[in-house]
A = this chain, B = another copy of it.
Amino acid sequence: MSLTSKTIGVFDSGFGGLTVLHALLAAHNPVSRYAFIGDSARLPYGSKSRRTIARYAVESARYLVEQQNAGFLVIACNTASALALDAIEQSVSVPVLGVITPGAAAAHAATKTGDVLVIATDATVQSHAYATACSALGLRALEKACPLLVPLVEEGWTDHPVTSEVINIYLAELLAQAATLGMKPDTLLLGCTHYPLIRPLIEKAVPAGIRVIDSAEATAAAVAARFQNRKSTDPTELRFFATDSVEKFERLGSRFLGQPTGPVTLVDLDG
């Protein structure tokens, strides 16, 4: 299969995965066509069960492959990567990459002590997908759910004292727990695609000696490596789809993508 003639399909439950698309556009890929779907009618996935998340994610994955001719899928959603990657792989015939494995690999490359902290949504943490992936690489990972960070980002409080205060509270709890376990963490992995937007606040909040890394960037780097960092010279073609309010997607999506999305097409997956 010639991937350069294909589309990379990118899936998220909402807008957060646009930070992964942003990183993909900045990386060296031979693919110039991207189709992004946000299942915004059913977001957030972070508080839902594995069964429900898998059913929803498979519908979006199939849409990208069957309707948008995607030859490669990036699951730009930590919750779906943690809970539904197997179900997605079984439902489509193209390669599928989630954000967990690249995130864990980046943590492995970054850490010297082998002790890694992970912050993510409730469902991602409950799945222990990062701890499992880190453990497979010989790392110890301590995970913490931070359910208020996504709403704070979506409220637009990405440079707000309340957000810094919430980050401080979550990190203090996480560091205290790490200390009781005798861990010496030197790496904090951002395990949610919303978090890159508050990365500057998180960088300020972590103690000296802890490096912040990000699954969105790590995933884009993994895709680029898979394509041997060859860069397409064709003009980039972006197509956006959402299962709910395209107006909201167009309005909020630009914050995550770092550029205007342009027109978004409404898709009905369960109608």
* In the complex, per-residue mask of A142-158: 1 if CB is within 8 Å of any chain B CB, else 0: 00000110111011010
Q: Which residues of B contact A243 (CB under 8 A)?
A: 52
The residue on B at minimum CB distance from A270 is: B270
A250 at the interface (CB under 8 A from B): no
What distance in Å separates the Cβ of A81 from its nearest Cβ neighbour in chain B? 19
Q: Of A16-24, A41-49, A203-211, which binds chain B?
A: A41-49
CA distance A244 to B83 in the complex (A): 15
Contact of A148 among B40, B55, B155 (CB under 8 A): B155
A148-B151, A162-B166, A166-B162 are contacts. A52–B48 as well, Cβ < 8 Å? Answer: no
Best-surrounded residue of A48, A169, A271 (most CB of chain B within 10 A): A48
Indicate how many identical chains form the complex. 2
With A and B bound together, what is the CA distance between A248 and B123 in angstroms? 12
Contact of A151 among B40, B49, B151 (CB under 8 A): B151
From B48, B155, B244, give the contact of A49 (CB < 8 A).
B244
Q: A151–B147 contact, CB under 8 A? A: yes
A232 within 8 A of B: no
**Residues 154-170 (chain A) with a chain B CB within 8 angstroms:** 154-155, 157, 162, 165-166, 169
Q: Is A229 an interface residue (CB 8 A)?
A: no
CB-CB contacts of A247-271 with B at 8 A, as 1s and 0s? 0100000000000000000000011
Given contacts A55-B271, A147-B151, A148-B151, 8 further A-B contacts (CB under 8 A): A41-B52, A49-B245, A49-B248, A52-B243, A147-B154, A150-B151, A162-B162, A270-B270
